[in-house]
């Protein structure tokens, strides 16, 4: 495995920063377990996210893809199992578009499984002291939309590129004014992401051996 593509989203819904974008920026150009990482920030737009991902995918030609997004109300790293073929939320994207009960791809399946080694990722994150859990799906907003678009592109091209979505909690400063809430530092978030990348690289090498 030589190249990994990671993505984060721009700020959205009034949040001044998005830790997933900061994470992608921090890891862009680094090397993890011998694999070069390309980090890209994507727009929070139904009409733009899929195309921006496809452009990054074609440019990087990755051997693995990890998509990151913010789950503001969560305090754990959330490993998503399924991408649903459904946009369904009352929240507008950054262009004001709202999608309710709308299929993402008319020619697509009901959903796609993540092809990341989720159980191994969960074990390694937990062993390293990071709060983490698996989740059934990535919701009905842009995170799920991108997750589905990415898996649909990879499946449509017949590529054996592992890909999945990871929700991250807010940064400490984002919840400093909320009693009882805890966030994560960017440093710890980067450490967690590097650990996940190492696991993906190691699992891919083991599978290929």
Catalytic residue among 10, 73, 91, 143: 143
Burial readout 41-69 (b: 16 or more C-beta within 10 A, e: otherwise): bbbbbbeebbebbeebbeebebbbbbbbb
Q: Is residue 145 flagged as an active site residue? A: no
| C-alpha R_g of the chain | 16
Q: Is residue 80 flagged as an active site residue? A: yes
Query: What size, in residues, is the chain?
Result: 209
Do the beta carbons of residue 13 and residue 96 sit within 8 Å? no
Q: Is residue 167 flagged as an active site residue? A: yes
Beta-strand (E) ranges in 148-200?
163-168
Catalytic residue among 15, 73, 75, 80: 80
Alpha-carbon gap, residue 45 to 27, rounded angstroms: 23
Count the Cβ atoms, other than its own, within 10 Å of residue 188.
15
Catalytic residue among 91, 155, 167, 191: 167
Residues marked as catalytic = 80, 143, 167
């Amino acid at each position: 495995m030589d190249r990994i593509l990671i993505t984060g989203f721009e700020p959205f819904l009034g949040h001044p920063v998005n830790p997933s974008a900061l994470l992608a920026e921090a890891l862009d150009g680094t090397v993890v377990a011998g694999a070069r990482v390309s980090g890209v920030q994507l727009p929070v737009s139904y009409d733009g996210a899929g195309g921006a991902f496809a452009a990054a995918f074609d440019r990087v030609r990755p051997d693995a893809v990890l998509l990151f997004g913010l789950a503001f109300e969560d305090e754990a790293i959330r490993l998503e199992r399924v991408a649903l073929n459904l946009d369904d939320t009352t929240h507008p994207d950054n262009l004001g578009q709202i999608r309710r009960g709308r299929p993402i791809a008319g020619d697509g399946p009901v959903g796609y499984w993540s092809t990341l080694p989720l159980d191994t990722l969960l074990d390694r994150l937990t062993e390293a002291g990071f709060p983490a859990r698996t989740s059934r799906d990535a919701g009905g907003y842009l995170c799920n939309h991108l997750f589905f678009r990415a898996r649909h592109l990879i499946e449509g091209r017949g590529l054996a590129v592992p890909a999945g979505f990871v929700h991250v909690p807010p940064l400490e400063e984002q919840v400093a004014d909320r009693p009882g809430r805890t966030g994560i530092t960017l440093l710890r978030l980067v450490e967690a992401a590097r650990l996940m990348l190492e696991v993906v690289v190691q699992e891919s090498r083991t599978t290929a051996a």
